[in-house]
Structure 1
Amino acid sequence: MIKKHCIYLLLVFLILSCAKQKTEPKKKPNVLFVSIDDLRPSLGVYGDTIVHSPNIDQLASEGITFRQTFAQSAVCAPSRASLMTGLRPDSTRVWHLGDKFREINPNTVTMPQYFSKHGYYTVNLGKIFHNYMPDSISWDEPDLRPSRYLKPDWIGRDGETFYISEEVAKSQEIKRDSLLKLRPIRYADGWNTGPAWEAADVHDTMYYDGAQNKLTKNVLTRLAKMDQPFYMGLGFFRPHLPFTAPKKYWDLYDKNKIPLASNPKIPKDAPIHSMNSMYELRHYDGFNHIGHPTSAFVMPEDTARTLRQGYYASVSYVDKLLGDLVNHMKDIGIYDNTIIIVWGDHGWKLGDHNSWGKMTNYNIDLKVPLIIRYPDQINRGTQTHAFTELVDIFPSLCELANIPVPDYMQGTSFVPLIENPKRKWKKAAFSQFHRRPRVSADGKRYMGYSINTQEYHYIEWYGWDPKKGERGEYKTAELYDAINDPTETVNIVQDEKYKVAIETLSKQLNEGWRNAKPSL
């Protein structure tokens, strides 16, 4: 009798459990949205044999790696404004570092803002928009910072500008006071001075990214207890200049064994205005003398090797921090139900084209890493070489989170590509760059429009009216053979045998992204 009663209770329990599962909707996945500043595809999963990136590589083995992702502009503010709004630069009208999307269009709806409208609790740590532009409208909790960095005088200061050395810190204060007297509004609030690298023998949390990572763990622990799904924007500052990371990450590399850039010269027959002036690196101690890439200046080999070592060390530092974060998510039970996306906002030249930095239309600056791992993903550890763009992220995350995709998106959800990485996809990827007179080798203003196809990379340069935001007359063009010259060493636009290809590419470029969309 007792046995029958127990079986009856068990059946009732199973029936009630099944009924509960049918009536309760599946909990929406969380979103961990990870930006790594200035990260080019220098990762093991992208075939880089020098870098130590085991944690990002492990994440990629559990998700999908996009091998041909392009930024819409190879500089921070335009790239991030495009990605975060799902609109391209000519629509956001954010073309260079000083443009602020919220001032240009106060009614802009950003990705976290949109997720918030669909039930997500949104939190921001670090650099998601350009520098410290927390955009409080986008977040329930904007601009969370480690407590020791909450000094009133540091509100406008970037996390990338902190050093361990007290001597450097004092020097920064003196220089900043002088700079602000000359002009009160400055990049990084005037703190972006000091050496281009530092390798202090300290714990990970002594540098800003490590301190921020510790805070992120605490915030995730708190968010895990909420009934509401969260969207967390986490922006790491490294490997942006200066290359400051704990010494143990520098020690992973022998700088004399790190190969130098394979394309150390500006492209042959390229227009002089195609290159940026390297003013970013020139801000740091000992580099104010460096010339324009189009000049006779060449970085001394030992310095070049140290810069490359510092970049790699910074990548490995962030890799370790991200690995710690993933382990913490597993410990608190939220890893399996979280979409994790890792992306770089643009590439970075490490001596490529006789240059250091970004800010060109060349693919060394346009190509970025993009890795996604999400709940219930069927195909794991896959890769695709199909064209994707950063502007595709907004609609893709909406689809993965099962919320409506806004009808004004100028990117394409790549979820179908995740499900079938080898399917036919976009015909091309589109980018652009605004070359301003003060950084142009010829002192003139241009807008360059870029199209990448499987066979070619084609760029057209126009004059530009900054007040109207309109392009002027055609100036010149560039053409690179993507198959036989992937590092873009020779501009072949004047070669007669490519005349038909150029006509086709020019037409495709001017028809724009809408005509390159995949058939879904």
Structure 2
Amino acid sequence: MSDQKKFKKVLFAVTLALLSLACNQAEKPKKKPNILFISIDDLRPNIGAYGDTIAITPNMDQLAGEGILFKQAFCQVAVCAPSRASLMLGVRPDSTRVWHLGDKFREINPQAVTMPQYFEKFGYYTVNIGKIFHNYMPDSISWDEPDLRPERYKRKDWLKRDGETFYISEEINKMQVRKRDSLLKIRPVRYADGWNTGPAYEAADVADSMYYDGAQTELAKKTLTRLSKMDKPFYFGLGYFRPHLPFAAPKKYWDLYDPEKIPLSPNPNIPGGAPIYSMNSMYELRSYDGFHDIGHPTSSFRMDEDRTRKLRHGYYASVSYVDALLGDLMAHLKKLGIYDNTIIILWGDHGWKLGDLNSWGKMTNYDIDLKVPIILRYPEQEKRGVKTDAMVELVDLFPSLCELAGIKVPDYMQGTSFVPLTKNPEKPWKKAVFSQFHRRPKVSADGHRYMGYSMNTEKYHYVEWYGWDPETGTRGDFKGRELYDRISDPYETVNIAEDPEEQGIIQNLSKELAAGWQEAKPKL
């Protein structure tokens, strides 16, 4: 055989091989993107990427630099259980009927389909570590692997214990056992299974993995290694407990900050002219050692500066601790080679007052409690390192992730996919966003029950308060309203609802609030 014939034969064989390879690749569908769904409890937008010059959060900032940051993002309810139920079901609180901390969405809605349940129908393998639903309401039917937790925390008497309640100090641990035993004798069913006692902060000189969030990050890395070898894409819900109280984090993160250089709140007073039932009682902080004396925000109580600085210091240290854990997690994703094919979304469930409005904690309709961080990075994202002023809501996460994953958005969703904003951050968007809060008698300054409906527009924050029947879930008589100018009064210092000059605006806003989220949707 001549050299030319041999060459043609080899060329023909190579061509066939290449065609066969191309056909095989064409037949093999592209793997859907993984989803890393990161919840950070009580995280308000005190992050460098959001403009906080004090916060040391290089890893969250890096994630924002590779994706999109939503500057005007709002929760539906400023407390854990209702906020997370709304987000995970894709509908609003009056549809979930989860209105306050103790409501359990699965008991109220036995047939509810959660986000991981829905994604499992489309071939996703679903895994949960940490707080995605409220505390240890892991909702096992939502996950292929529910409620994974570090080995040393699997003790039988800790199975209903929240990850936020663990300290390093043996003295504190012994005290918690004694207090819990006494409390359970009085009432056997308690929040956090009776473990939520102890100091409001701790700064132990230990490795990151010695606190719960660090231990579950190590477990998350091992789990990701395992998941990366599967043929299926994964939906991984990873819920961090810090910066929820107590502010317990390794000492090195406290050492990042000089407490004297952490600024105090720009608005330490309740809004002038606000109804007294708008404020929560601060019972969360009051349950911790050293804070049993604090009064209702509407009273004459004022927190002294030393305690104020200690708490603000602890919050920032806790945020930096979680940020470092996230950096470790992202490095592991890259090491596994799955970072680029993973949708990463980071969100906080509501804000948190750090002395703002003479208060500590969440549980109001004020923007300091309603505004949350949302940062998104996804494969083949057209624009990276961008920010948008368009108003979005946590209820938008469900349809947004569906669109990014290329699966059908359920037709009952009450949020709107914000994927178009990732391609055009300046795109005209929602006219308003909506939140609400159920004020119960035992925490209301006047001992009565209310439901407050909140609406934020570009210029105004408007709230209407009604009586509320918790048995039927229906509003009663109108009780009062609040109005704040978001442009001239961003810290909500004065309620201008009674200003005669604002009455025309109030009429329009009231109609807009009554029309609700359906009429505020963007034109797509």
Report the TM-score range of the alignment, normalised by the length of the smaller protein.
over 0.9
Q: Does 1:358 align with 2:362?
A: yes
Q: Please give the per-residue CA displacement for 1:354-388, whole angstroms capped at 9, x wherever unaligned.
A: 00100000000000000110111111111111010
Letter in 2 for 1:80: R
Aligned partner (choices 101, 112, 124) of residue 97 of structure 1: 101
Q: Does 1:395 align with 2:392?
A: no
Find the residue that maps to 1:260 and give its secondary structure: coil
Q: Counterpart in 2 of 1:152?
A: 156
Question: Could you say which residue in structure 2 is the equivalent of 1:276?
Answer: 280
User: Is it true that 1:243 corresponds to 2:247 in the alignment?
Assistant: yes
CA distance in 1, matches of 2:116, 2:459: 36
Q: Deviations over 1:237-275 (max 9, x none)?
A: 000000000000000000000000000000011000100
State the one-letter code of the partner of 1:346.
H
1:164 and 2:174 aligned: no
SS at match of 2:141: helix
Deviation at 1:296, TM superposition (A): 1.0
Instruction: Tell me the residue number matched to 1:108.
Output: 112
Answering whether residue 467 of structure 2 is matched by residue 470 of structure 1, we say no
1:85-484 aligned within 5 A: 85-484=89-488
The structural deviation recorded for 1:285 is 0.2
Distance in structure 2 (CA, Å) of the matches to 1:22 and 1:227: 17
Percent identity between the two aligned chains: 72
How many aligned positions are there? 520
- Classify the secondary structure of the residue corresponding to 2:44: coil
Amino acid at match of 1:115: F
Q: Deviations over 1:201-227 (max 9, x none)?
A: 000000000000000000000000000
Name 1:67's counterpart in structure 2.
Answer: 71
How far apart are residue 7 of structure 1 and its match?
4.0
Distance in 1, Cα, partners of 2:325 & 2:226? 19
Using the TM superposition, give the Cα deviation of residue 302 of structure 1 relative to its aligned residue in structure 2, in angstroms: 1.1
Take 1:222 and 1:207, find their aligned partners in 2: how far apart are those partners? Answer: 23
Q: Deviations over 1:388-445 (max 9, x none)?
A: 0000000110010011100000000111111111111100000000000000001110
The residue identity in structure 1 corresponding to 2:83 is S
- Write the distance in 2 (CA, Å) between the matches of 1:4 and 1:505: 78
User: Aligned runs of 1:36-75 on 2, under 5 Å?
Assistant: 36-75=40-79
Q: Aligned to 1:395, what secondary structure does the other structure show?
A: helix
**Aligned-pair CA distance for 1:4:** 4.9
Indicate which of 492, 495, 515 corresponds to 1:491: 495
* Counterpart residue type for residue 391 of structure 2: F
| Distance in 1, Cα, partners of 2:198 & 2:467 | 36
State the shift of 1:14 in Å: 2.8
* CA–CA distance in structure 2, aligned partners of residues 485 and 11 of structure 1: 70
1:77 to 81, 95, 99: 81
CA distance in 1, matches of 2:8, 2:506: 82
Indicate the RMSD between aligned Cα atoms, in angstroms. 0.9
| Alpha-carbon separation, structure 1, partners of 2:39 and 2:102 | 20
Query: SS where residue 308 of structure 2 aligns?
Result: helix
**Aligned equivalents of 1:164 and 1:503: distance in 2?**
55
Deviates more, 1:228-237 or 1:21-30: 21-30
Question: How far does residue 118 in structure 1 lie from its aligned partner after superposition?
Answer: 1.1
CA deviations 1:153-204 (Å, max 9, x no partner) are 0000000000000000000000000111111111100000000000000000
TM-score using structure 1 length: 0.99
2:301 partner letter: F
State the Cα deviation string for residues 7-43 of structure 1 (Å, max 9, x = none). Answer: 4444333322322222211101110000000000000
Q: Cα deviation per residue 1:116-175 (whole Å; 9 max; x = unaligned)? A: 111111000000000101101100100000000000000000000000000000000000
Displacement of 1:105:
1.1
Partner of 2:236, secondary structure, is strand
Deviations 1:488-517 (A, max 9, x none): 000000111111110000000011000000
Moved over 6 A (4+): none
Q: Where do residues 26-37 of structure 1 align in structure 2 (5 Å cutoff)?
A: 26-37=30-41
Q: Secondary structure at the match of 1:181?
A: helix
CA shift digits 1:70-121 (9 cap, x unpaired): 0000000000000000010000000001100000010000000101111111
- The 2-side partners of 1:11 and 1:159 are apart by 59
Q: Which runs of 5+ in 2 are unaligned?
A: none
CA distance in 2, matches of 1:45, 1:352: 21
SS at match of 1:320: helix
Q: In the alignment, residue 322 of structure 2 is paired with which amino acid? A: V
The 2-side partners of 1:289 and 1:5 are apart by: 91
Structure 1 residue 66 displacement after superposition: 0.6
Give secondary structure in 2 for the equivalent of 1:336: helix
